[in-house]
A and B are shown apart, each in its own frame.
Chain A
Amino acid sequence: MSSRSNSAGGRFSSYLQVAPMALLMFTLVGIPLVIVVLLSFWQTDGITIYREFTWSNYASVLNSPVTLALFIKTIKFALITLIITTIIGFTCSYFLVFYVRNLKLQIGLLLVCTIPFWTSDVIRMVSWIPFLGREGIFNSILMRLGLISHPLSVLLYSDFSVVLAYVYLFTLFMIVPIFNSMSKINPNIIEAARDAGASKWMILTNLIVPLCKTGIALGSIFVVTLVMGDFFVVNVMSGGQSASVVSAMKNNIDQLYYPQAAAMAILLVVLVLLLVTAILRVVDIRRELAR
């Protein structure tokens, strides 16, 4: 930092520089959030909304075992997806950084990871169905190989297929940040560790994992927020048998119970904030990035 940025003029120009983004965030995030918060404390009879304060929206959400089960299920999906994507993301990045080494090939392979994103969510989801269904390709292969006698029904329209779809959709959001922090590791420090006699495992646990913490944390935030905010994937891949918090919200909105939906939304926001805070507790991203 130059000494200029400490002067009053410098401070003014700094504010000016953040102003456009601040304005954008205020109008597109701040104002809607305030409206949702207000809405969650207002009353409704299913037809009209009354601007009168009440706790009843929150009470009905928190007292409903169905809704609480939905929250727990959504958290479960998020955590399972988080663990699997972290393992896959770390492994892929490790391969790209420490085995491929050639920068052009690395970037090329990373772009290959994005191929599924060239088409829409709907098509990507639907294309799993003929693969995993009872009469699907995977079951036929297993039967033809004689590994099973009856088709497996757990493959599709189950929690398994939901998690599979999440992993398929969101692994890239884990690969990219981990790859980014891993590729910044100076190869010399790995040699230095080897020079001290460290085994591959020691290098992994003592150097590579700690130095990828920032990437893992950023990727975790992406994955957790994406899973917590989903209702489409869970709906398609569970065949309507599972639901998420957002699905319940959508039902409320369809029935014009906006304040209840708003209360759920606020609870979800709080929950996601808690999870993100927990992640940031483990990894001080600001300090890590400053280093």
Chain B
Amino acid sequence: MTPIGAIMREGMIENNKEGGTQMKKLLGTALVAGLAWPMLAGADPINVKDFALAPRIAEKVAAGEELNIFVSYHDVSNEFAPQIRAGVERGDALDKVKAKFIGPVGADADGQINEIEALLDTMDGLAISSVSTDALAPIIDRVVEAGIPVITYNTDNPDSKRIAFAGQDLIQSGREAGKLMCEVHPEGKLLILTLDAAAQWSLDRESGAREAMAAGCPAAEVVQTVNTGTDPQEMYAAIENAMLGNPEISGLLSLECCTTPAAGSWVDRNGRAGEVKIVGFDLLDQTVEFVENGVIQATIDQAPEAQGFAAVDLLAKFLNGETIDDLDTGVGIFTSANIADVN
């Protein structure tokens, strides 16, 4: 695996006076996350010579023609899609590459499969983030068997015949969130928040977080996993109900973008900033504000733009004869000490 460097902004290693000891500890964790990222359980390095490339694609490569690379995302209407699309558009600017961002509106495995089937004859490479690993594995295998190289990005599909993965290991990112939670909330009761408790990414992150907390802060007890739903009002209401039902809660661990600011809103409005510690994911506007204000203690960035670009770049390199391997797009850990580096 080739780490392209966890997204450790330069500012992260510079602590400020306000950050204090806790921030230093957090940043220590961040460095560990960046430098000691374990190998993903992925494929071996692969070269196009070891791949049964479709003759039509081989001819295009030999003739130096533009290559059609499709990047299928599992939900083009969610918060990350614009950032991933921006990465794909950056990839589109690569020499002799025509990259196109595709995918269903709303997480829809059938829609994603149908779209890929329809475009099969026109694609020279496919990068895919699966809405469901089991549902998408057969189509990935079919595309590979048709001589079209497939890599996974953002969400891996390790049981398929994909040739490489570019993105963040979800279990590992859950572990990092768990470690951060241990830093800010070493003991006491906490809730895990997720907008879709049954989704594979959520299950992976939750298992990683629980594992890290069991090892790193056994005195911290996960009371409940709260499944909030996707609508902002539903999320807030679910958190509100859960906090009322469990007044002893002193920590909130969000597994994704969207319950993170909702948790921040509840804590802020109820005057419990600092008393209830929050660790979450991503850099939505509200999340950034809450980190700046000290309401949220830490958030993990997934670098979606880098994932979108890496998806195109890996395929272009592979088709042009370079040996490729799984690519860790890393994590960026942001606290009040370095949140100013965002934008």
The finding on whether chains A and B are genuine partners in a shared complex, rather than unrelated, reads no
Which A residues are closer than 8 A to B by beta carbons? none
Which B residues are closer than 8 A to A by beta carbons? none
